[in-house]
Amino acid sequence: MNAEEYAEKRVKVHKKVREGNNFLIVTHAGPDFDTISSGLAWALYLIRLGKNVTVYNERGNIFESKFGFLPYSNCMVSSISDISSFDAVFILDNGAISRVGRIAEDLKGAKYLINIDHHEDNDLFGNLNIIDDQASSTCELIFGLMEERFINLDIANCLYTGINSDTGSFNYKVSSRTFFVCSKLLSYGVDVEWIKECMNTPIDRDKIDLWGMIYTKREHYKSLALVYLDPETIAGLNFEPEEIKINIHSRLRSIDGVKITVQIQAIKIDPENPKNNQFRLSLRSKGGIAVNKFTHRYPGGGGHPLAAGCDVFGKTLEEVKQDLYKFADQNL
């Protein structure tokens, strides 16, 4: 998206906000800091403009222990009675409409969908699509849509948190624009140390058990490390699937020499007929290796060069691993 196109779309967003009064903001299922932080920041911004705003996540504010320090997080809802009552629906950080969860079907009744995202494989499902795969995060995009005179400390805290998280504490996918935005946010009084402390909550016994599982089940091939999860393992962990995935990648990335990390999750296993099998893969790269080259081989696969995912059908677990090993042979 070039600068001229972005400017035109920004004008359209402002026009829609100016003309409307009731807005819905939808974040994705299995939420991370970018989707929640961008959603809350945009909600707080619209409220400062005098608008009525509802923020939706299919789990509501069940993630209070993780996101509770963010302003307005206690106001998220998990159900919407009438989509058509909103003048526009903002869908944030969702590469596909299905990622919003069970509300996806209801969104067909929305008056106007505005899709704001930074994933290069976005499905462009909105009436208005603001997609920039060069942005570090959706929070970075949201900042660009705001008039700075309406930004306050609460909004800045949300946006900084999302950018910090989605860049791995500024370790990947950052640009001069990313640091420019963060410098602006700091000018509103963002306390970097406080946010860091809030994001890094104390490690409890469940987290220790999770890390133990990761280190025990890990497998290595050259500079690739993977963990396979069957349904029984996931059921035995006291964590949401998204948090399990985040921890798998972060733990494996911390191992010396590892350049690619992979989570393989069994979605469906048919011992009698592997053609019915389904595995969900999540890949991360430390840099220099575009893992979306692997995921694009499969229908529906995509993502960023440094973070990608796909579903693999009709193969055995060993065949999936061999595909990954071949990719490693070609790229490591």
pLDDT greater than 80 at residue 201: no
Question: For residue 248, which phi and psi values (nearest 5 degrees)?
Answer: -60, -50
**268-282 confidence digits (pLDDT tens):** 999 999 999 999 999
Residues 139, 278 share a domain: no
Which band of pLDDT confidence, cut at 50, 70 and 90, is reported for residue 246?
Answer: confident
pLDDT at 222: 95
Claim to verify: residue 48 and residue 162 sit in the same structural domain = yes
Statement to judge: residues 94 and 158 lie in one domain: yes
**Of 300 and 148, more confident:** 148
Q: pTM here?
A: 0.72
- CATH code, domain with 217: 3.10.310.30
Domain total of the chain: 2
Q: Which of 199, 218, 243 is the last residue of a domain?
A: 199
pLDDT tens track for 290-305: 999 999 999 888 877 8
Residue at which a domain ends, from 199, 216, 251 = 199
Q: pLDDT tens across 59-79, in order?
A: 887 677 789 899 999 899 999
Q: Which domain holds residue 215?
A: 205-330
Q: Please enumerate, as own/partner, the contacts of 284-293 that have beta carbons within 8 Å and a separation of 24 or more.
A: 284/249, 284/253, 284/260, 285/259, 285/260, 285/261, 286/172, 286/253, 286/258, 286/259, 286/260, 287/172, 288/259, 289/259, 289/260, 289/331, 289/332, 291/260, 292/120, 292/121, 293/327, 293/331
Are residues 56 and 184 located together in one domain of the fold?
yes
Residues 193 and 168 in one domain: yes
Q: Does residue 52 sit in helix, strand or coil?
A: strand
